[in-house]
Amino acid sequence: MLLDEPLIQSISSEAIKRISLFNSQCLSNTAWSGSVLEIAAGPLSAAIAAASLRTITDFDAQSLANLAWSLATRGCFLTPLMDAISSASIRK
């Protein structure tokens, strides 16, 4: 897949600045889109993970599934986040 790296970096940088404003759907959709575009895990992924851990109880079943899929697709098994997703999924 051909990507415009400067554009991806610019979007990632701006998303990181605003990550605290993202709700659960925005977080999971951003993670999902990064996986679909095969963008390497980096600072944006770390910001999504941190924000998701803080708000995991706000995630509905679809957002949890999208977030888990995006992590698994990248081979990015962040244990604290995956544990939080698992626990939240059981409660849903």
Give the per-residue pLDDT at 86: 94
pLDDT tens sequence across 2-37: 788 899 899 999 999 999 999 999 999 999 998 888
Give the per-residue pLDDT at 59: 97
pTM, rounded to two decimals: 0.88
pLDDT tens sequence across 34-88: 888 888 778 998 999 999 999 999 999 999 999 999 988 888 777 899 999 999 9
Helical residues (DSSP H) of 1-92, grouped into ranges? 5-18, 24-36, 43-55, 61-74, 79-91
Tokens for 9, please give them: 């970096």
Check residues 92 and 45 and name the one with the higher pLDDT: 45
Q: Contact at 8 Å (CB) between 55 and 84?
A: no
Tokens for 29, please give them: 């959709």
- Tokens 């605290």 locate to 20
Q: For the chain, give every domain's residue range.
A: 22-91
Give the per-residue pLDDT at 1: 65
